[in-house]
Structure formats: C-alpha cells, structure tokens
Structure 1
Amino acid sequence: MDLQNLRKEIDETDAALVELFRKRMQISRDIVAYKMEHDLPIFHPGREREVLLRVSEQAGEELSTYARVLYGTLMDLSRSYQSRQMNTGSAFVSEIRAAAERTPKLFPETALVACPGVEGSFTQQACDKLFALPNILYFRNFEGVFQAVDQGLCRYGVLPIENSTGGSVNDVYNLMKNYRFHIVGGCKLQVNHNLLARPGVKFSEIREIISHEQAISQCSEFLHAHPEIRVTKYDNTALAAKAVAESDRTDLAAICSHECGALYGLTMVEEHVQNNENNHTRFICISRDLEIYPGANRISLMCATPHKPGALYRLISKFAALGVNLTKLESKPIAGRDFEFMFYLDLEASVWNDEVIHLLAELSHTDEGFVFLGCYHEV
C-alpha cells in the first residue's frame, strides 16, 4: 500500500472521529442539562477514573498510555463545554461585565497614587507615564503601597513587576496573595542605571555602592568587575541616592536614575552601568476596585492546580485551545502546603471575548484556588 492510500485511510478515519466527537459533545450537553436540573456538580472523579481505566484496557498494552492521554483531554473538553453552558449567567461573568460597564471610557489623568521610594525613583517615572498629573504619596517599601490601596488611602498604586534582565520582582509577587487588589493598567519603561556620588568624588575613591536588589542584579557585570567595592542592598534606588546625598562619606555611591542627580545634588561617576542597554521594567497599576477600561487586552490571574501529574499541562492547554498566548507563568509556594504552588499567569486576551470569559468562569469554580487580578492595557 502506498503513502497516498494510507493518507486517504487516515482522512476517512478522521472524518469518522469528528462525527463521533460531535456526537460525544452533544451527549455531554444533554448531561449538563440533567446536572443543572438536579443540581449536580460537573466533575465526577470516580466516573472519570472508571472511563480512563476502561479505555486504557481496551487500547491494549502498546497504546494504553496514549489512550489515557487522549481520553483525559476529551474529558477536559467535555467539562469545559459543560461549564460554558452552566456559566452563561454565572456570578463571575456578571461581575466582570458589570465592572466593565461602570468603568469610565478613559483612564484618569489625575488621582492619588501610592508609589514606593521617593521622587526620582523609576516607579515615579512609570507613574508619570500612566497618569498625566498624578498626586503621588510615597511609601518606603512595596508592602506600604499594597496597604495604602487595600485600606483606601490611595485610589491607585504603581509597582514594578518584572525586568527584562533581572526577571520577576519577587517581593511584589510574594505580597500579591496577602492583599485584595486588581490590576487596572500597566506600562513598560526603559531603565538606565547610573553610578552617582557626591560632587567631587572620583571612582577610585568609592568603597561602597548602595541600591535596590533589582538594580544590583541588573548591573551585576559592572559590580563583579570591581570586587574591591562592597555592595549593599537598599529599599529603593531613589532612597539610596538620597542617603548618599545626606551622608558626609566620600567613598559612598548609589546606582540610580539620572534624574536623581539633579534632585539630590549628586554627580555622575559612571553612566549606563546596567548589563544590557535594552533594559526594560514592567510596572502595574493596582486599585482596590475592579476597573476594566476599553481596549484592555491583557489578563492577569492567580490559579492553583491539583497536585497530580498533568495538572499544569491541562490548565495551559485550555488557553492554547482558544489560541490565547501565555506571556508569563510564575510559580510561588503555597504556605502550609508541602510543595504545592500558586501560579501567576499573564495572557494576551480580553474579557470582551466570550470564549475567554467563559473559560475564566470555569476556572473560578476550581477547588484549588482562583483569583482574577484584572484585564487591562499596557502602554
């Protein structure tokens, strides 16, 4: 038998499989109607185990594993299809649509905004990029920003979330699970780090450099080239610059923004000391209330998965099936649960897409944990 005939057989088999798939999904729809009428849950683990055991035995030893994967995927699709029928009027969908309807058409030009650090920080620059005329209230650390938004002291807060060189800002991710907030906007900022010191100080005199740990990470090559200089972590790059300005030491310098020089009377010792000239940081704008502005095209969420093989794959495959691009996947341990993790995901998608919002509604019913962080636009 030649290849063309074999391909013809495959095509005929696929056509039969598609018809059987359509029939199976229709039966799934009838089942969900029964479950809704009798107030039964979609997921029946005992039934699924029974099906997987049966088909793996029917497939034979050689194809047993493949059959389990195939039918595991089929049952995932069936649950997703059933969830969509049940979630048409769900509380999650209603909440998202209500938030989108009450959100103003334009992002505010001015507001009271919480920022970490002091004037001259990169977060302040990000704040100025997000808002035309922000009224900024500064806090010493990231947690102060979360607290200000959570307690209603500030309507918004701006925080760094990820750097193209240093990776995720772990302190921010670690705080996310402790506070109630939503992401309503974001921006990307080019970050150039400079070495600044008091006027008249030469590089040969410097014995200590202070800065935020992210800046230190982004300038690691420069710092490693000078092992004789001690490196000390500081709460914020702008706070480090301010500390140098207020010190009488002539052997102290800070890695910070160029703007800090003019603000705090410091001079440039070395310019652009970051590892990569193409160095960018992503910032998020958070609020206590859910706001979804027109043009929102990025979704952020937190989701836990069952502690069993294939669980993360099944989660990601749901988005892949809809053609949704996953741009971020970060895992953090769940306190009190050995080697179980909460996953943070960023998606190129919008809640205006019916398929996406119904998938999110399905995930919102998971027992392991789900938090919708927001749908927003990044500038």
Structure 2
Amino acid sequence: MSIKIMELKTILQKLRNKINKIDELILELLFKRRKIAIKIAKKKIINKFPIKDKNREQELLKKLINFGKKLKLSKKYIQEIFNIIIHDSIEIQKKIKIEKKNNNDNNQLEIACIGPKGSYSYIAAIKYMKKYKKNYFIKKYNNFEDIFNSIKKNKFNYAIIPIENNYSGFIPEVYKLLIKKNIKIIGDFYLPIQHCVLTKPNIIFKDIKKIYSHNQAFKQCSNFIKKFHYLKIKYTNSTSEAMKIISTSNKNNIAAIGDKNNSKFYKLNVILENISNQINNKTRFLILNNYDINKINSQKKNITLILKTKQILLFYIIQILYTNKIEIIKLKLNSYHKNQIKEIIYLEIEIKKEKKIKKILKILEEKDIIIKNLGSYSRLNISK
C-alpha cells in the first residue's frame, strides 16, 4: 500500500471521527430538546392549552430557514429535518397528556362507543370499564368515522369498537378505518350476543309487519329473516337505536332485533329468543387509543399489522411466518390497485419472542413492504 493511500485513510478516519462526535452531540441536543418539550407539555396540560400550535410551528420554521441561509443550508433540507423534530415533540406531548389522564384515578375516564344506551357496544364498554377501571363516563357516537376522528383529537381515553362476529365476519367499515387511520389497539375481548325479537308490551309476533335493527344483527339472524320473508327490513345505526324507535313509536306492528338484557333500557318485551344463526354467537371488540399503553398482564400477546405491498407477496409473507414458527391468528387480504399498492393485508400474529418479531419486520421491510403496526395487546376475559 502506498504512503499516499495510507495518509489519505488516516485523514479520512480523523474526519469521520469528527463527524461521529458531531452526531453524538446532535443526539444529546435532541435529548435535551425532548426534556424541554415534556416540561412544556406538563405546563400546557395544567393550564389546558392545546398541544399543537400551528402559528408557533410556522414562525419557528421561518426563523430556522432564514438562519439556515446564512449557513448555506437549503430550505428543503431544514424543513425536512425540523418537520420530523417538531412532529416528535407534538407526539411526545400528546402521549404525556393521555398517560396523565389514564394514571390519575381521581379523573373520570371517558370511553367512546357506538349507539345509544343499551347497544351491544354500550354493554361491552360498561363490562370493560367495570372490570379494569374505577371511575368512567361513556361517550356515545352515531358512527365509526366520528369515533376514529375523535381518537386522533384525544377526546376520550378509550374506544370500544366491534371488529368482527364469529358468524358474519369483519365489519367492513371498521376494517377500512383500521387501514386508513393511525390508531393503536391496546386490547380485545369477545362478548356473547343473544339476539331476540323485541316489541312494546301486549304485542304478539303475528302482528309484526316491519322489523328494525343494525345491518350486522340482520346478517347474524339471516335464517330467521328468510323464514319470515314477509317482514319489511329497516336498517339502523345500532340495535339500541332500533329499540329506541320501537319504544317511542305509536305503531303496534313493528319490532326490533336486539339483546334480551338490553331490552330493559327501553321497557320492551322479548317475544322470541335466540334467533341467531349460530348458537354460540359472539362479537369481538377492540379497545382503541392513540398509543400502546396496555398495562394488563398476560402470558400471550397478539400484534396486529397492516401490510401494503407493491407486488403479489402474500405467499412469501405466509412462508416467512411459517419458517419462523410465528402463529397467524387472523389474516385478511384485499387486492388493491392504487398508488402502486397491489395488496393490503390485515395480519394478526401471536408474540412469543420480541426479538423474533423484530427480525420478521426487518425481513418484510427489506422486501419494500409498507408496515403499519396497530399495536401489541392482550386478549382479555370479560364474561357476559
């Protein structure tokens, strides 16, 4: 090796050492910046100030861009770096806000669900909160879109959302929102569902001409509906909305499909019981939040991923999981042809070793697979 090459290598190493020291200094400064952001968050929470301040962000970027010009740094370079730093600061502050809410036992926890009082989601929310929390308030929404939008705005602590039924399968709207929105699953549980025909007092079944309920309830009772095909079907946003319509109507020829235990909320009579297609009918509910803050201990945990692929890679993904002995709990595939994405895969797998999961994710990322992690969580046991 010539003396010139040796000298060049020595010079390069010295320069690289300088860069390493600068990089370490940058990380130390970012750490200090985070600590200050945490202090700011605590002050904002106490004084009930909003976490995000667009004017402050724009003003900061403008000053940094002007300062960067003096250092001969491009506008795009500064924007890209500080957009990441500012986003990190906002996310840290949001997380602190939620954790402060959840850790304060004196605060009344808010939990969101679909439907008026007496819906299956409402009952699921009560059962969850009674088992795991002390003080709660249920916030009722009319549709899933509003709940998901409110999650991002931190309008409540938790949301209880039905995701699938063991007979009718996934709820399409919820499935699409899980793909579209950035949320975290912090737990899930099953709730037995006992569909019944409900009416006002002193009404008999042969008088019924029209029946109200949610789309999912009709699917789960499709055999019953076919048997009495003359009944007119009316769809509602929830089973509890159907019960409310019956209880407030002057008509005596209408009924609702709903749960026996929930009929008491609307003073309705059960005239036919257990009309579900499946005897062991049950619905799976997800517990959602902005962050993975699950603190319930469990030997088993699941992780839910949304995988977006630019090639047809389903078989390859299954093969990778099988080779690494990763158990697939749930898999749903959607063909997709937009923005070069060909497949969207909803995947639930069981976690046994965190290192192995990290290894799998790295392999998938190397295949140019876009991965959205919806969170790792425990399966909860909430009895009827």
TM-score (norm 1): 0.67
Matches within 5 A, 1:128-277: 128-132=126-130, 133-277=135-279
Hey, what's the Cα distance between the residues in 1 that align with 2:219 and 2:334?
20
Answer yes or no: is the 8 Å Cα contact 2:168–2:219 preserved in 1.
yes
Tell me if the contact between 2:308 and 2:341 (Cα under 8 Å) persists in the aligned partners: no
Paired residue type of 2:329: T
1:284 corresponds to which of 286, 289, 292:
286
How do residues 293-304 of structure 1 correspond to structure 2 at under 5 angstroms? 293=295, 294-295=297-298, 297-304=301-308
Please state whether the residue corresponding to 1:131 is helix, strand or coil: helix
How far off its partner does 1:366 sit?
A: 5.2
Percent of aligned pairs with the same amino acid? 26
Alignment of 1:35-114 (within 5 A): 111-114=109-112
| Matching residue of 1:119 | 117
SS in 1 for 2:321: helix
Q: Secondary structure at the match of 2:233?
A: strand
- In structure 2, relative to structure 1, the CA distance for the partners of 1:137 and 1:327 (3 Å cut) is same
CA distance in 1 between partners of 2:326 and 2:347 (Å): 12
Aligned to 2:320: 318
> In the alignment, what sits opposite 2:309?
305
2:15: which partner in 1? Answer: none
The runs of 5 or more residues in structure 2 that have no matched partner are 1-90
Partners in 1 of 2:338 and 2:249 — Cα distance?
A: 44
Distance in structure 2 (CA, Å) of the matches to 1:107 and 1:152 = 15
Change (3 A) 1:108 1:181: farther
Compared with structure 1, are the counterparts of its residues 201 and 181 closer, same or farther at alpha carbon in structure 2 (3 Å cutoff)? same
What is the identity, as a one-letter code, of the residue corresponding to 1:371? Answer: K
- Aligned residue for 1:38? none
Query: Which residue of the other structure, out of 322, 341, 344, is the alignment partner of 1:342?
Result: 344
| Structure 1: stretches of 5+ with no match in the other structure | 1-94
SS in 2 for 1:340: strand
Which residue of the partner structure matches residue 27 of structure 2? none
Contact 1:195 1:254 in 2 (8 A): yes
Whole-Å Cα distance in 1 between the matches of residues 337 and 322 of structure 2? 29
- Confirm whether residue 374 of structure 1 aligns to residue 372 of structure 2: no
Moved over 6 A (4+): 106-110
CA distance in 1 between partners of 2:228 and 2:334 (Å): 34
Partner-residue secondary structure (3-state), 1:130: helix
**1:152-178, CA deviations, whole angstroms, 9 ceiling, x for partnerless residues?**
111211111111111111110011223
Relative to 1, partners in 2 of residues 1:364 and 1:237: Cα closer, same or farther, differing over 3 Å? farther
Following superposition, the deviation at residue 292 of structure 1 comes to 4.2
CA contact (8 A) 1:301 1:371 kept: yes
Is the CA contact (8 Å cut-off) linking 2:310 and 2:343 kept in structure 1?
no
Cα 1:176–1:334 change in 2 (3 A) is farther
The alpha carbon displacement at 1:368 in A equals: 4.0
More RCO (CA 8 Å, sep 6+): 1
Q: How many residues align?
A: 276
Contact 1:292 1:374 (8 Å CA) reproduced:
no
Using the TM superposition, give the Cα deviation of residue 371 of structure 1 relative to its aligned residue in structure 2, in angstroms: 0.3
> Deviation per CA, 1:192-215, whole angstroms, max 9, x where unpaired?
101101111111111111111111
User: Could you tell me whether the CA contact under 8 Å between 2:309 and 2:341 is conserved in 1?
Assistant: no
